[in-house]
Chains A and B, each alone.
Chain A
């Protein structure tokens, strides 16, 4: 990209050798990215057999157990006569007060979820081992669909990411030990201690699976990071699966990925939001992947309209000021791409492929 030059000859402007005169036109062609959304609706997946504990319309506070997950779901049969005549798939069923309820397989089944009726018998999803599903945000239960999911309309605002791994969680937002490193920092496992228990840590650009595992063991509730490499992602998911399988689970833990896979610093406008939220209680939602917070007093000023960020490519992570369209230009590797002029700091404008740019709205 350093040797970018125009595809066609253009008039030189001024005496600085610039190939065309930068201007502010064309900003609308730069991809937009939402910094914050006003409404956050958080989803929780349910599997057949899981037990919702709330009803649509219920107002809940952060930390409310909204459902119980059945860890060992399996099917058992009961005679159709043991269910209500108008029973439907998804209804809860209990053997209490039903003398006809004789379970064909399994022992002492008392409660379950009707799955389907076949051959004069209902099949039930039941299980003995339950674990709670807690809602990390305050809000109103909007929808409950047995076997499918629960949706909660959360109070507050959401800062969207591209992916979240783990389980929804909440905690006090901490910028880590080195506040000056919020955008570029790296979390090392040796820098973690129990003093960070209960926090959601903002890591700049890099974290490895070992640090994530140790963070969870130390009681950290979540991590916000710009990018997570595929290997670390795979190792973390494997660790998470082992954790789910264990009998004594640790509190929920989540990783919110803001940008993607490759290493890049947290975007300046996002870092400003996170700095403003430091010390506040926030939540990480997995569906959709977002940082949810209810902090009306926290004021977030949007960046200037012409503020752009290089999302990828040679200058990934750099931010600057839009200075207009540069037309089709030749970039490294022999590619010809639509480009825009961007002013980085006090440097002269540089052409950057339009597709590598984003702006926050």
Chain B
């Protein structure tokens, strides 16, 4: 970096997408000038060159103001782009962890901790399994880390076989010196057996806390597993930091939800009160990937439940396998809707895997990120979230359209990170709108009345049970929605009359009067028709 850069590239090198945003300093603050994404592994130099070229084509004066003055095109543009300072976030590659314990009971919390920290998790215990199978499981080259755990002190069902499990692990680990081994709880007593003196190892042997230790239970082990999984520039590892910074900058409760190629992320953060530290909680779930590496029947069923295109199971599985192989291809046509159906299914997995975060107070703002949502129109993305996250509340929804949060999250200095985010937050978050989901609405002709007080005046409409009400509220506009329900409902609190401040966006205001949780018809044709009817008005640009 030069001492006073006026532009830089923020690069996010993900598993499926390489994206870069050109950030420039204008009027004493950082602004997003442009962004571009290509399938991974993309050529960052080429992306940077194209971004700089577009700035020159659109506004040469702006380019000069950012110090992007060309000596001689086109070679000059490429040189200029390659000289730009870069802030790079690199997603850690998906890795597999094998959790092991004496019994299935002891295995469960270990596997849960691993599943919440982004590991592709396998499990094996001595319960009814041949030690030869356990050895083969450890020797599988797809396994990168093994987590062997026991309670501390070990439970009655564990004590008798701890030694044998230690012997099995020691025997297999001796053949794989590159393997990282984590001994949790009482398994730490087996360290001498697993790491005999003088043995040369490439992989680390780490001692960790028991899987149920800490408050909340498992938190210390999850922190350790998170450290082992991601490097310092892994954007998912930085999700807690950037979500906390966002909560601090906006002074609102934030939830960041990302569905990506190798997993899903859910980060929640609240701003500090009276100068205190804010709080954040992060879960990274590998099973919540857009499409798992080998989509099984369960995955196909999940996606089929949200699909609006008519496909039999075999063809859907083929499309999903193809999506896994080439995650960015085939988007045009019905590909975007298939991706959004897969994203809904993955979102469901993410929500099911994080019940503790669902139990937190509803956030003020939900930020959507990840390639799964990149090709869909903003309003359809907002509906996808409302379909799956059935929380009786009013929330604003925004999208990290330029994939910048990951890159900003890896800025190591918290003050710099906060400052950069404060400058860029309006450019980073594309407002999709607000969603209001009241729960407990009874069937009938009318559930009540809705009055919207906006800058342009007031509008009044009827609330139809089971329906979706879309109110046009453009980005940047703030309104007050007054609900007068016929019966008592839950919307944060229980009551009949509510006044909610709502923010506009690409999708406006979505008043969702459907069931909580959402009930869909069992018959596939009827379900498809219903889903299609709900989405029809939101894919505003779809062909007719």
Interface residues of A (CB under 8 A from B): 1, 3, 25-26, 28-29, 31, 45, 47-49, 73-75, 88-90, 114-119, 123, 125, 145-149, 162, 229-231, 260-262, 311-314, 316, 325, 330-338, 353-356
Contacts and interface: CB of A to CB of B under 8 A. Distances in A.
Nearest to A339: B332
- The residue in A45, A48, A119, A331 that gathers the most chain B C-beta atoms within 10 A of its C-beta is A48
Interface stretch (B251-259, B333-341, B387-395): B333-341
A314 B50 contact: no
Contact of B332 (A117, A260, A335): A335
For the complex of A and B, list the 4 residue pairs with the smallest distance between their C-beta atoms, beginning with the closest: A116-B171, A28-B46, A334-B541, A355-B328
Interface in B275-321: 314, 317-319, 321
5 contacts: A29-B46, A74-B130, A261-B322, A333-B332, A335-B336
B314 A229 contact: yes
B333 A332 contact: yes
B190 to A, nearest CB: 12
Contacts of A313: 329-333, 335
A277 B45 CA distance: 36
Contact of B330 (A25, A48, A116, A356): A356
A116 B322 contact: no
A145 B335 contact: no
Nearest to B316: A230
B45 A338 contact: no
A45 B139 CA distance: 10
B333 A1 contact: yes
Given A89-B170, A229-B318, A314-B333, 4 more contacts: A89-B172, A147-B139, A338-B38, A356-B329
B543 interface: yes
Nearest to A338: B36
Contacts of B326: 260, 311-312
Interface stretch (B160-168, B358-366, B496-504): B160-168
Nearest to B171: A116
A149 B49 CA distance: 44
Contacts, number: 166
A316 B319 CA distance: 14
A313 B50 CA distance: 24
A228 to B, nearest CB: 9
Contacts of A147: 135-136, 139, 172, 175
Contacts of B317: 230
A262 B322 contact: yes
A118 B163 CA distance: 8
Given A311-B326, A314-B332, A333-B542, A31 B38 contact: yes
B424 interface: no
Nearest to A88: B174
A264 B167 CA distance: 51
B332 A29 contact: no
Contacts of A314: 332-333
B131 interface: yes
Interface of B: 36-39, 42-43, 45-47, 49-50, 53, 74, 130-132, 135-136, 139, 141, 163-164, 167-168, 170-172, 174-176, 314, 317-319, 321-322, 325-326, 328-337, 375-377, 539-543
Contacts of A149: 141
Contacts of B334: 333
A311 B168 CA distance: 47
A47 B317 CA distance: 30
A314 B543 CA distance: 16
A65 B176 CA distance: 25
B141 A230 contact: no
A230 B321 contact: yes
Contact of B171 (A3, A89, A148, A325): A89
B135 A29 contact: no
Nearest to A45: B141
Nearest to A162: B325
A77 to B, nearest CB: 11
B33 to A, nearest CB: 16
Given A26-B50, A335-B332, A261 B321 contact: yes
A29 B43 contact: yes
Nearest to B334: A333
B329 A148 contact: no
Contact of B318 (A49, A119, A230): A230
Contacts of B335: 313, 333, 335
Given A31-B38, A31-B39, A73-B132, A337 B332 contact: yes
B195 to A, nearest CB: 14
- The residue in A3, A118, A336 that gathers the most chain B C-beta atoms within 10 A of its C-beta is A118
A89 B174 contact: yes
A123 B37 CA distance: 54
B167 A117 contact: yes
Contact of A335 (B38, B46, B319, B331): B331
A327 B540 CA distance: 21
Nearest to B174: A89
A88 B318 CA distance: 46
Contacts of A146: 175
B132 A74 contact: yes
Contact of A337 (B331, B337, B541): B331
A325 B321 contact: no
Contacts of A31: 38-39, 42
- The residue in A148, A262, A311, A333 that gathers the most chain B C-beta atoms within 10 A of its C-beta is A333
A330 B175 CA distance: 55
Contacts of A316: 330
A312 B322 contact: yes
Nearest to A329: B332
A47 B542 CA distance: 53
A334 B132 contact: no
A355 B136 contact: no
Contacts of A3: 543
Nearest to B331: A335
B176 A29 contact: no
A145 B36 CA distance: 44
Nearest to B36: A338
Contacts of B540: 334
Contacts of A331: 331-333
A66 B221 CA distance: 43
B168 A116 contact: yes
Contacts of A28: 43, 45-46, 49
- The residue in A47, A89, A123, A338 that gathers the most chain B C-beta atoms within 10 A of its C-beta is A89
A26 B47 CA distance: 9
Nearest to B338: A333
Contacts of B330: 312-313, 316, 356
Contact of A332 (B43, B131, B141, B543): B543
Contacts of B46: 26, 28-29
Nearest to B167: A118
A333 B543 contact: yes
